[in-house]
Amino acid sequence: MSWMNKTASHILCFVGAILFTHCVALTAIAQMGTQKEGLRGVKSLSVSVQSLDRTVITDEHLQVQIELRLRQAGLSVSDCKVGTVCLPQVHVKLIAIAMSERVMYCLIRVEFNTLVAPIGQPTHRLLATVWLNEKGMVALKNDYGPVTDEINQLIDEFVK
């Protein structure tokens, strides 16, 4: 019985941490500009993907899916060599955490990053996230259809 109590306690801590992360992200999102402001003047962008679970879906598969979605929306997508950071970029992060043998919790984060010059320092450049959206969902393991559908919806919100 104590094993079940420890598991329930760990799940509650995990859910609490996720809720806290969402609250912090929502505060940051409320302070950011609109997507149209962030894309103003962007002629081409790159895509980077970071997935912490590669058992069923690979970073390369996700990247091709996202690039296709962006091209369908009329945006030009440039290639970026693996291991380099090309800006501006759409960065997608997928974290999948096993909750049981068949169920996982997925946190999907989509952000648009670019270089900006700080006020009063025109020769300096900083990486800035100018658009951010994330979503958490529960999904069945080995069934990434709902996860990729959710990524597509977040990309669609980005290009609106």
- Give the mean model confidence (pLDDT) for residues 67-87: 89
89 contacts: CB under 8 Å, gap ≥ 6: 45, 46, 47, 48, 80, 112, 113, 114
Q: How many domains does the chain have?
A: 2
Same domain, 38 and 77: yes
Grouping H, G, I as helix, E, B as strand and the rest as coil, residue 40 is coil
Sheet with 46-51, side-by-side order of all strands: 46-51, 89-98, 103-116, 126-140
Same domain, 15 and 68: no
Phi, psi dihedral angles at 71 (to 5 degrees)? -65, -40
Same domain, 8 and 56: no
Say yes or no to pLDDT of 69 above 60.
yes
Domain extent, residue 6, equals: 1-31
- Give the mean model confidence (pLDDT) for residues 91-102: 89
Q: Which residues does residue 106 pair with via DSSP β-bridges, in sequence order?
A: 96, 137
- Convert the pLDDT of each residue in 43-67 to its tens digit: 789 999 988 766 667 888 889 999 9
The DSSP code for 69 is: H
Query: For residue 119, what is the domain's CATH number?
Result: 3.40.50
- Convert the pLDDT of each residue in 20-37 to its tens digit: 555 444 444 444 444 445
Same domain, 23 and 86: no
DSSP for 77-105, written as a single string: B----TT---SSEEEEEEEEEESSSSEEE
